[in-house]
Amino acid sequence: MSTHKYKMTIIIPSYNNGQYISQTFDSILGQKVNFDYQIIVTDDCSRDNSVEIIAEYEKKYPEKFLAIYAKENCKLFRNVLKALERMDSEYFCLIDPDDYWSDMDWLQKGVDFLEEHQDYTIYGANEYKLFNDGTVELRYHRPGITSVTSTYDDFLMNKELLSNTLASIYRNVYFSNGVPEEYRQLVGSQFEQTSRADTFRNLLHLKRGKAYFVNECIGYYRYHGNGLASAYSMYEKSMRAAFAYVGYYEFFGREHVERYFALIKKLYIGAIKEYHLALVSGDIPKLSEQYMQYAKTVTQWLQEHDMPSIYARKPFSLKKYSEIVSKQIVIWGTGSAAYKIIEQYGIPINEDTFFVDNNPAKQGKKFMEREIKTPDAIRENPECLVIIANSYNNQIIEQIKSEELCEEDRIINIYDYKEHWLE
């Protein structure tokens, strides 16, 4: 028999969503359930009218609402932590203050399923994505799927089918005796921000049971520029996810290194490719120091855990690569490999770009309408970036070092796909 005060807790981390939060509250209060629940709203020092609206609902429904207000903004992870510390229920879920449920049986369905299936810790569903212009589309396009069960092993194989915050209900197996110390230690750590989202919460529960996904829509997820999930570009999302997976590996006991390596490597490669596309198209601002650090952490982790390696790989420098749009470019190579590299990676051929080749018969001629020079010309342009576009890349690097043509950190050995995990 449960010793918890409530059957269900609904957590709402509030910040500057006063225009939507009443609809969120009403979609909870309209739920048809046969159990007691508590709504814990943690407002993170909103600057709009959110606090006033929360106070109105708390006054009107004192038996259901618990509001926690902040004097200063503490960000999402710590804001949710305040609710977890006060939670006293068998089950819980979260809903963002700009989303809402349309299925009034949603909470009852989730509790009924988890009551009947004690080996499951997550009950999830589909949802609609609601855009600012009023258009609607499915959040998850999973045709042919009525329902599916996922496990932690499925996650490691990248085969899990889960849901997000709006459409997930959890059995309280991790926080049932309070917030564990290992979870508290994430506060202030490098992984605090990436531990605040759906994936980490899902993994906490997948490690302790199975997840059930039913392919029916239970609510509306607002997709707009002010939301955390919709504010990042594709390369930021991929690099952020790769960094988060490094954190998951560390948090969950450093197990299954081979599977985590495959997952992190795939995300990393995707991030680099998306970054490159944005970079050469000109649709990209300067990469923030935060994402530089994410990239550095991920490449170092891949280095340390690349078990088949027979030599120490030098990490791919995202910061250095980003300089191809602002530095003078020198390309070492004048054959088919150079054509392939330039075309595939969109290497800019600027007015001051020139090529280098050791073959005296080519020197002084032109390649792609730019002059072919001797290697010594690199020394005369100390700030240039030297892109290796020749299959003899290792020998060329040794030549550059032995002849002191430029500093090693000015070399981009993009030809070596394996070194940079860009197969």
Same domain? 263 vs 182 = no
Please count the CA atoms within 13 angstroms of the CA of 78 that sit on its side-chain side. Answer: 12
Strands 120-131 and 366-367: unpaired
- Which value, to the nearest 10 degrees, does the dihedral of the CA atoms of residues 373, 375, 381, 385 take? 100
pLDDT in tens, 312-324: 344 456 667 777 7
**Which residues are within 8 A (CB) of 331 and not within 5 positions of it... i.e. 6 or more apart?**
338, 341, 342, 347, 353, 354, 355, 356, 386, 387, 389
Residue-level pLDDT at 220: 98
Domain interval for residue 338:
327-412
Looking up residue 121, the CATH number of its domain turns out to be 3.90.550.10
Decide which of 319, 350, 370 is a domain's last residue: 319
In a domain, 153, yes or no: yes
pLDDT in tens, 37-96: 999 999 999 999 999 999 999 999 999 999 999 999 999 999 999 999 999 999 999 999
Residue-level pLDDT at 95: 98
Q: How many domains does the chain have?
A: 3
Straight-line distance from the first to the last Cα atom of the chain, in angstroms, rounded to the nearest whole number = 55
At residue 423, what is the residue type?
E
Residue-level pLDDT at 283: 63
In a domain, 423, yes or no: no
Same domain? 282 vs 155 = no
pLDDT in tens, 80-118: 999 999 999 999 999 999 999 999 999 999 999 999 999
Same domain? 165 vs 46 = yes
Q: pTM to 2 decimals?
A: 0.78
β-strand partners of 122: 170, 211
How far apart, in whole angstroms, are the C-alpha atoms of residue 341 and residue 337?
Answer: 6
Cα-based distances in Å from 398 to 34, 379, 380, 388, 395? 74, 15, 19, 12, 5
Give the closest residue to 357 by CA, choosing from 320, 386, 317.
386
